[in-house]
A and B are shown apart, each in its own frame.
Chain A
Amino acid sequence: MIANLLIGLREGLEAALVVGILVAYLVKLQRRDVLPRLWLGVGGAVAVSLGLGALLTFGAYGLSFEAQELIGGSLSIVATALVTWMIFWMLRTARTLGSTLRHDVDSNLGGAGWGLVLVAFLAVGREGIETALFLWAAVQATGETTLPLLGASIGIIIAVALGWLIYRGVVRINLGKFFAWTGFFLIIVAAGVLAYGVHDLQEAGVLPGLHSLAFDVSGAIPPGSWYGTLLKGTINFSPATTWLQAIVWLAYTIPVIALFIRVIRRQHPKPTVSATAEAPALTSQGA
Chain B
Amino acid sequence: MSQRPIVRTFTLATAAALASLALSGCVPNTGADAGATTVDVKSSATECLVSTASAPSGSVVFAVTNTGDEETEFYLLGEDGKRVVGEVEHIGPGTSRDLAVTVPAGQYFTVCKPGMSGDGVGRTAFTVTK
Interface residues, chain A, with chain B CB atoms under 8 Å away: 1, 3-4, 6-7, 11, 56-57, 59-71, 74-75, 78, 81-82, 85, 89, 107-108, 110-112, 114-115, 118, 122, 130-131, 133-134, 137-138, 140-141, 144-145, 147-148, 151-152, 203-205, 210-211, 218, 222-224, 239-240
Q: How far is the CA of A173 from the CA of B26 in the complex (A)?
A: 47
8 interchain residue pairs of minimum CB distance: A67-B25, A218-B117, A4-B92, A112-B3, A60-B32, A65-B86, A223-B116, A61-B26
A-side contacts of B17, CB under 8 Å? 71, 74
- CB pair B11–A118 under 8 Å, yes or no, is yes
A-side contacts of B99, CB under 8 Å? 65
Q: Which B residue sits closest to A216, measured CB to CB?
A: B117
Q: Would you mind naming 18 contact pairs between A and B with Cβ atoms under 8 Å apart?
A: A4-B94, A65-B85, A70-B21, A111-B3, A112-B3, A114-B7, A115-B3, A115-B7, A118-B11, A130-B90, A134-B90, A137-B91, A138-B94, A138-B95, A141-B95, A144-B94, A223-B116, A224-B70
Q: Distance in Å from the Cβ of B104 to the closest Cβ of chain A? A: 14
Q: How far is the CA of A81 from the CA of B87 in the complex (A)?
A: 27
B-side contacts of A69, CB under 8 Å? 87
The answer to whether B88 has its CB under 8 Å from any CB of chain A is yes
A-side contacts of B85, CB under 8 Å? 65
- CB pair B25–A68 under 8 Å, yes or no, is yes
8 Å CB contacts to A: which residues of B55-90? 69-71, 82-90
Q: How far is the CA of A107 from the CA of B94 in the complex (A)?
A: 52
The answer to whether B29 has its CB under 8 Å from any CB of chain A is yes
As a 0/1 sequence over residues 94 to 119 of chain B, the CB contacts with chain A under 8 angstroms (1 = contact) are 11111111100000000000011110
* A3 in contact with B92 given A203-B87, A211-B82, A223-B116 (CB within 8 Å): yes
- CB pair B118–A218 under 8 Å, yes or no, is yes
Q: Distance in Å from the Cβ of A102 to the closest Cβ of chain B? A: 16
The answer to whether B4 has its CB under 8 Å from any CB of chain A is yes
The answer to whether B28 has its CB under 8 Å from any CB of chain A is yes
Q: How far is the CA of A11 from the CA of B71 in the complex (A)?
A: 13
Q: How far is the CA of A81 from the CA of B11 in the complex (A)?
A: 12
Q: How far is the CA of A244 from the CA of B20 in the complex (A)?
A: 27
Q: How far is the CA of A69 from the CA of B92 in the complex (A)?
A: 19
- CB pair B2–A111 under 8 Å, yes or no, is yes
Q: Distance in Å from the Cβ of A198 to the closest Cβ of chain B? A: 15
- CB pair A137–B95 under 8 Å, yes or no, is yes
The listed residue (B14, B89, B94, B98) touching A78 by CB distance below 8 A is B14
Q: Distance in Å from the Cβ of B31 to the closest Cβ of chain A? A: 9
Q: How far is the CA of A204 from the CA of B86 in the complex (A)?
A: 8
The answer to whether B27 has its CB under 8 Å from any CB of chain A is yes
Q: Distance in Å from the Cβ of A72 to the closest Cβ of chain B? A: 10
The listed residue (B25, B32, B83) touching A205 by CB distance below 8 A is B83
Q: How far is the CA of A107 from the CA of B24 in the complex (A)?
A: 41
- CB pair B32–A61 under 8 Å, yes or no, is yes
Q: How far is the CA of A63 from the CA of B100 in the complex (A)?
A: 8
* A111 in contact with B95 given A70-B21, A78-B14, A240-B117 (CB within 8 Å): no
A-side contacts of B101, CB under 8 Å? 64-65
- CB pair B27–A4 under 8 Å, yes or no, is no
With contacts A62-B29, A223-B115, A223-B116 known, what are 20 further pairs, Cβ within 8 A? A1-B93, A7-B71, A59-B29, A62-B26, A62-B98, A63-B25, A64-B25, A65-B85, A65-B86, A75-B14, A78-B13, A82-B10, A137-B95, A141-B94, A141-B96, A148-B95, A151-B92, A222-B115, A224-B71, A224-B117
- CB pair B24–A67 under 8 Å, yes or no, is yes
Q: Which A residue sits closest to B115, measured CB to CB?
A: A224
Q: Distance in Å from the Cβ of B12 to the closest Cβ of chain A? A: 11
Q: Distance in Å from the Cβ of B30 to the closest Cβ of chain A? A: 8
Q: Distance in Å from the Cβ of B43 to the closest Cβ of chain A? A: 12
